[in-house]
Structure 1
Amino acid sequence: MRKLTFGMNLSLDGYIAAPGDDLGWGVPSEELFQWWSDRVGATGLALYGRKLWETMSSHWPTAAQQPGATPAEVEFARRWHDMPKVVFSSTLSTVDWNTRLVTGDAIAEITRLKAEDGGPIDIGGAALAAAAMRAGLIDEYVLATAPVLVGGGTPFFPALDHRVNLSLIETRTFTGGVVLTRYETRR
């Protein structure tokens, strides 16, 4: 069975986006950006909700051609483009860049994908990840916690109707004070 991981940058008060979908507070250091890039390079499949897909697909397909693109950005753009992706949306009609669209039952499809052979799966997007959390499908949580309080917005963790016990498997501090923590779900 494939491992499903939910990981994002988040504020110290637990938000992945500030009010108005503001992400400006979460610009990663070069060191953290490289960590995320290496993670993308090792991911067998990425699952996106519509909003995160629109954010990523509006930038990364052409990022390598932008004036001033750093070698790290060029590398991330290539890795992102090459990585197989699935987008879950009831409103989109097409997707590009090594991506497949799923308009039906997300939980059934994620369960099916986890049962397949292949590399690890990353899931992104607050609503999609929340549905997977509630269904008990997340195997690992990766939190890159920035030293900032944004006061509201889109939470990393949704309200759950049951407890989820976790085991800490890694901590690491990055330049700028971002603390990475990784937890496995105890089953």
Structure 2
Amino acid sequence: MNEKDKKSIIESILFAMGEPVSLGELSQALEEDSTSVKKTIQELMDEYKDAGRGVRIKQMNNRYQMCTDPQNYEFIHKLLYEKNKASLSQASLETLAIIAYKQPVTRVEIEALRGVKSSSSIQTLLDRNLIKEGGRLDAPGKPMLFETTVEFLKYSNITNIKELPSYDEFVNGIQEKIVEK
């Protein structure tokens, strides 16, 4: 199979799936080794970027997804999201930050850090697919553990959870903003 055909197939799969696809899945579909497929994906990523196209291929934890150019966000946001999706509340953002930094974490641990009930914030984040159940804690009552999702990576515009600033930097940044007000 030539490179042009491989690129066409990868584009078709990523477009049709609409969600992140692993390198292994792409390799299996193409019946090619992962090194070759990864090289082809990188070439596609470069081609989209160099051509200034409105579509990109984004890598997230060794998974790939077709998405829009981040520079076009404001236009897409105006059209699709402003009318249909309210932004996250301060409580939901606080809850999401705790989960991102402390994951996997239980509701009780979140509430202990926030000092208030967090059930509705957790439900909002679950509904928006920004967090998910990450198993159960081996403790009395088997409390649910929460962790972030690939949707969170997209929402945060990062490719990996390791790209978040350190917890100390994050807390210091918030404290500086509070002092400025």
TM range (shorter): under 0.3
After TM superposition, the score normalised by the length of structure 2 is: 0.25
After TM superposition, the score normalised by the length of structure 1 is: 0.24
Q: Which has the larger radius of gyration?
A: 2
As a proportion of its length, which structure holds more helix?
2
As a proportion of its length, which structure holds more strand?
1
